[in-house]
Structure 1
């Protein structure tokens, strides 16, 4: 296991949610970026961020310049980390790169909860439960009816490995190397991401049903 960094006694009392919003959304077959699509009272991205705010947790949003204004409509500019668009340079970008950037930007946190920005149906209480479980486990994975989803929480002990992530691999190799606690949660939103137009329509229907 990676050693804790020096100075961790100054860490924040709770984990920081790293919202990954830097992808191209290439599978989305609608007009515009999937995160900018209307959803509920705002957009997919803004709805995800509002739910994290409702949980009372700090966050950092890792995104690209075209989506920065959407994020800054919800969080302060200091809580937005800009990364290059995927495919814009020689460095391998993607999920892993974005996670590393977010973790590095909040290096003194007591842990990091990785959350894809295209999952607006995750309930605030789910983030709170993951945060509580992170006090006792190195990695905590949200699970619904036996299926793993997001968010995923990582202890500060994994800092050096998280900031070393590259490309689009994400944190899969960490999940394979370290014991992972699967927290069963009665929240189907942990499995619902918006990759396609059909996904978006299904999520909108669930959103409306939850409020009827």
Structure 2
């Protein structure tokens, strides 16, 4: 039976925003709680939240959630280290996982049905990577087969998982997710988000 683990990347310092984006209110919860609830509702699978900046205060918000938290001590160097930290922790908790789903805390329109569609497409397509397409790009949420874990564990610094998507185009199946283009990097992004609710 396929077991998928979920890694939520929430280690950034939100420099352009000036306040921890993980804690911005959205639909009566924080952005991070929003994606945590989406992840935990998509099935009985291990969920790892990777923290970095503001880890102590953000961890307080997650006390009642069914997730495991891990702190990436090298979070300032970029997303690559957080992906590696999250996957190492996931494999420690659940050595038998067959795939890992990467989620960002600042894509507020990720839904449980979207994640379920991704799991189903991985089974039917036989592809090693399921990613979401929006705008003119492809990216997170992204689901990686265990055959690519060694490449995820080799990411460094600013390198994100997109590097692996681009290296293996023949291994990628994509799902159209136009709302994936909405992410929160600045106050303007957040204000725009609030007008869409």
TM-score by length of structure 2 reads 0.84
CA–CA distance in 2 between the matches of 1:57 and 1:153?
16
Gaps of at least 5 residues in structure 1 are 1-11, 88-92
- Counterpart for residue 119 of structure 1: 107
- Counterpart for residue 36 of structure 1: 23
Contact in 2 for aligned 1:28/1:197 (Cα 8 Å)? yes
- Counterpart for residue 3 of structure 1: none
Q: Secondary structure at the match of 2:159?
A: coil
CA deviations over 1:166-197 (Å, ceiling 9, x no partner): 21211232122213424233x43322111111
The alpha carbon displacement at 1:204 in A equals 2.4
The alpha carbon displacement at 1:134 in A equals 2.4
- Counterpart for residue 61 of structure 2: 70
Alignment size in residue pairs: 186
CA–CA distance in 2 between the matches of 1:129 and 1:54?
13
Match of 2:83 among 87, 99, 115: 99
Contact in 1 for aligned 2:32/2:106 (Cα 8 Å)? yes
CA–CA distance in 2 between the matches of 1:26 and 1:180?
34
Match of 2:163 among 168, 173, 180: 173
- Counterpart for residue 14 of structure 1: 3
Q: Secondary structure at the match of 1:170?
A: coil
CA–CA distance in 1 between the matches of 2:153 and 2:41?
27
Backbone CA RMSD of aligned residues: 2.0
- Counterpart for residue 60 of structure 1: 48
- Counterpart for residue 117 of structure 2: 129
Structure that is richer in helix per residue: 2
Gaps of at least 5 residues in structure 2 are none
Rg (Cα) greater in structure: 1
